[in-house]
Amino acid sequence: MDRRQGSDARVFDEEQLREMAAGDRELMLELVELYAGHAEIEWPMLVGAVREEEWEQVRLLAHALKGSSMTIGAEVAARALQHVEESARAGGDESLREAVETARGAYVRACRQMQSLKAA
């Protein structure tokens, strides 16, 4: 599997999701919907917390998004969110903002790739 971070890279590991759901397609689809819904609420909160430099809130939101990303198989987003979490713990820096953009892009690409599950 291609693990590059470019826009054409696979950023969602369907096999990880399949294993977690024990192959149950309906459960897989439900988990994808939960992930997308959860992240749609928390991403704007994360971006706002970064803008306001509320580092503890950034850390908490990044941690939550990282966990759900790792669970669902969105590994690129999870790695970038790990960096956001660590940077926020240290009081934030410019690399944090870049990591948020990287994570957000990976999240969007992962969600697009997850949509292929619905079509299959």
| Domain spanning 14-119: CATH 1.20.120 | yes
- With tokens 């790739």, the residue in question is 113
Per-residue confidence in pLDDT tens, the chain, 120 aa: 334 444 446 789 999 999 989 999 999 999 999 998 888 899 999 999 999 999 999 999 999 999 999 999 999 999 999 999 999 998 888 789 998 999 999 999 998 888 888 776
Domain borders along the chain are 14-119
What contacts 23, CB < 8 A, 6 or more positions away? none
